[in-house]
Structure 1
Amino acid sequence: MKPPAFWHNLPTAPGGAARLLSPFSALYAAATARRIAKATAPHRAGIPVICVGNLNAGGTGKTPTVIAIIQHLAASGFTATVVTRGYGGSLTGPVRVEPKHHSAGDVGDEPILLSAFAPVWVARDRAQGVVAAEADGAQIILLDDGFQNPHVSKDLSIVVVDAARGFGNGRVLPAGPLREPVAVGLARADLVLSIGNDAEQNLFQTMWGSMIACPQVSARLTPLQTGMDWDKLRVLAFAGIGTPEKFFQTLRDLGAEVVRAVPLSDHQSLPIALLHRMEAEAKAVGLQLVTTEKDAVRLPDAYRQRVLTVPVRLTLPDWSKVDAALQPILSRV
């Protein structure tokens, strides 16, 4: 389901529907605050726990961030293990993801994607997932999307935000896109990582920079060079991620001609009937089907060779602030 447009109005814009919904937002924010405050004795792992989360509901770039941190730690000789809820999967866990035996329907699409880079444990109860990962020999835990989860003690909390959208209209669900108020959430953050191009980063700084007291780093998503020549390739592109439009623009930036763009809901299933319709439409006018790396793990086997993918990776011009935050944690490993 596409979020309402007013979620992404500037905070200075007139209230309208957001103002009418504000009493419900106050209830949502209060419920979140009570849930966090009521949690007593969160599980304290015997190994470092690094949380990668957000304030916004939906995609902000957490999965590419987790992959980037996995690879950055690996370059320094450390092995990270991911613990995640496994959104969209049927298994409640704790279960270690085995791509040969599990599908996206079992554990969710992001855990399947992440399992190509590190061991991944799926658990609806994050504390149980951390316990299982630690018992399995984990060295460092990356807690994916657990920023509002009060049952696991974190050594470092990184808030990821889409620089272009920022924190939207600054309101909490349902009047805006936030899980909790900006000031409340940022007070628990150790690092803010904003993702976007230079213009988007400048906008983010103008709108939200004054509210960020912790270190902040800028990053961007760049397509992984695979040798594929996208120039003038006519495509039918589909994407079930937080912001499908960003994927379509990435294709255009690569030189592809996006003749047909099909935005899907985040984590939306890809039934054969839908794929048949898109493939028939593409063949009728000579288009190539193309999707994101995350969507590709949800494709049925029969379509894996018929749909091109565009993997993207998070790039940080400067890791120094991240390394400074990691140093006291890694010294304990």
Structure 2
Amino acid sequence: MQPPRFWQNPPDAPGWKARALAPLAALTAAVTARRVARRADGYRAPVPVICVGNVHLGGTGKTPAVMALVERLLARGVKVHVVSRGYGGSEKAVLRVDPGRHDAARVGDEPLMLAAFAPVWVARDRAAGVRAAVAAGAGAVLLDDGFQNPSVIQDAAILTVDAREGFGNGRVAPAGPLREPVATALRRADLVLTLGDAEAQARFDALWSVAPLPRLAAEAKPLQTGMDWQGLAVFAFAGIGRPGKFFDTLRRLGADLRGTVALDDHQPIGDALLKRIATEAGALGAELVTTEKDAVRLPPEWRGRMLILPVRLEPVDWAPIDSLFERLGL
């Protein structure tokens, strides 16, 4: 589903629809605030717990952010585990993800992808997931999402923000794209991670000020695999938070983008859908290409029949993250 266009109005001119929905937005904010207030009663883990979350209802790039933090912690010798709700998966118990035995339908696409880098636990009850990670020897836990969840006491919280989208019109849903007011969220955060190219970062600078919080600007860039995309005829499909960003990346790489299909985030990708997309691609003389996250949702027989474009987060400067880790003793 596409969000209402007025959600992206400038913060100083949100529009009449946002103003008309202000009473409902106030109710959403109050419910979230009441929920967050219970965090003092959450589980206190014996190891640092870092939440990577957001204040936005849509995708903001949490998955590449978690992946980058995992790699940074591993490089520092930290035995990091990831705990995720497993959105899109059917598993209800606490489960350590095994890419060799589990699929996205059971554990969710993001946990399945992250499990290639570090131990990942899916748990509807995040406190139970953190306990399981600690029992298995975790030296630190990354919470994938859960910024508004009170069940675990967070030693640090990193807010991810799409630099181009920013905080939209700055209003809480349904008047805007936010789960809670920006100012309220920033009081609980330790660092703001803005994702986007230089132009997007400059746009964020012009519209928003998040001082005095430390800020890390980063961009998700294609992983150098030796693949030459220049002039390659491709047909792209993606079911991520913002599929258009994936299509734009292919264009920047010089690919001849002959067709695109934007799926819903976490949308199941079945045989019938793939056959239709493959037929369209074949008629256009193009190869199929998708994202790393979508690839884990493909039926096994389709995984070798298309190209995958992996991306990795490249921060301008790791210093804000390293300082946060050092404060936590990591």
Task: Give me the TM-score of the superposition, normalised by structure 2.
Answer: 0.97
Distance 2:44 2:211 in 1: 27
- State the partner residue of 1:102: 102
Matches within 5 A, 1:119-268: 119-209=119-209, 211-268=210-267
The residue identity in structure 2 corresponding to 1:243 is R
- State the partner residue of 2:42: 42
Matches within 5 A, 1:37-116: 37-116=37-116
Choose 33-42 or 224-233, whichever is displaced more: 33-42
Say whether 1:289 aligns with 2:283. Answer: no
Kept in 1, the 8 Å contact 2:86–2:107? The answer is: yes
Distance 2:270 2:19 in 1: 38
How far is 1:13 from its partner?
2.6
- Give CA-to-partner distance per residue, 1:258-294, whole Å, 9 cap, x none: 1111111111111211111111111112111111110
Kept in 2, the 8 Å contact 1:70–1:79? The answer is: no
- Give CA-to-partner distance per residue, 1:132-161, whole Å, 9 cap, x none: 111111111001101111111111110010
The residue identity in structure 1 corresponding to 2:95 is V
Unmatched tracts of structure 1, length 5 or more: none
Distance 1:182 1:39 in 2: 18
Kept in 2, the 8 Å contact 1:52–1:157? The answer is: yes
The residue identity in structure 1 corresponding to 2:68 is A
Distance 1:21 1:257 in 2: 43
Choose 216-225 or 39-48, whichever is displaced more: 39-48
Say which SS state the counterpart of residue 328 (structure 2) adopts.
helix
Kept in 2, the 8 Å contact 1:2–1:265? The answer is: no
Say which SS state the counterpart of residue 187 (structure 1) adopts.
helix
Kept in 2, the 8 Å contact 1:114–1:120? The answer is: yes
Distance 2:49 2:14 in 1: 41
Kept in 2, the 8 Å contact 1:239–1:291? The answer is: yes
Distance 1:226 1:12 in 2: 44
The residue identity in structure 2 corresponding to 1:13 is A
Kept in 1, the 8 Å contact 2:229–2:254? The answer is: yes
Runs of 4+ in structure 1 over 4 Å off: none
Choose 200-209 or 179-188, whichever is displaced more: 200-209
Say which SS state the counterpart of residue 305 (structure 1) adopts.
helix
Kept in 1, the 8 Å contact 2:21–2:174? The answer is: yes
Distance 2:257 2:13 in 1: 32
Distance 1:190 1:103 in 2: 34
Kept in 2, the 8 Å contact 1:58–1:266? The answer is: no
Kept in 1, the 8 Å contact 2:160–2:195? The answer is: yes
Distance 2:257 2:17 in 1: 33
Distance 2:226 2:202 in 1: 32
Number of residue pairs the alignment of both structures matches: 330
How far is 1:14 from its partner?
4.5
Kept in 1, the 8 Å contact 2:14–2:169? The answer is: no
Choose 104-113 or 57-66, whichever is displaced more: 57-66
**Alpha carbons of 1:39 and 1:67: their partners in 2 closer, same or farther (altered >3 Å)?**
closer
How far is 1:40 from its partner?
4.5
Coordinate RMSD, CA, aligned: 1.1
How far is 1:240 from its partner?
0.7
Say whether 1:326 aligns with 2:302. Answer: no
Say which SS state the counterpart of residue 89 (structure 2) adopts.
coil
Distance 2:39 2:216 in 1: 30
The residue identity in structure 2 corresponding to 1:328 is R
Distance 1:220 1:34 in 2: 34
Distance 1:149 1:295 in 2: 26
Kept in 1, the 8 Å contact 2:7–2:14? The answer is: no
How far is 1:74 from its partner?
1.3
Kept in 2, the 8 Å contact 1:47–1:134? The answer is: yes
- State the partner residue of 1:13: 13
Task: Give me the TM-score of the superposition, normalised by structure 1.
Answer: 0.97
Say which SS state the counterpart of residue 194 (structure 1) adopts.
strand
- Give CA-to-partner distance per residue, 1:17-36, whole Å, 9 cap, x none: 22222221111111000111
The residue identity in structure 1 corresponding to 2:232 is L
How far is 1:16 from its partner?
2.8
- Give CA-to-partner distance per residue, 1:231-276, whole Å, 9 cap, x none: 1111111111111110000000111011111111111111211111
- Give CA-to-partner distance per residue, 1:166-223, whole Å, 9 cap, x none: 00111111121111110000110000010111111111112112x4321111111110
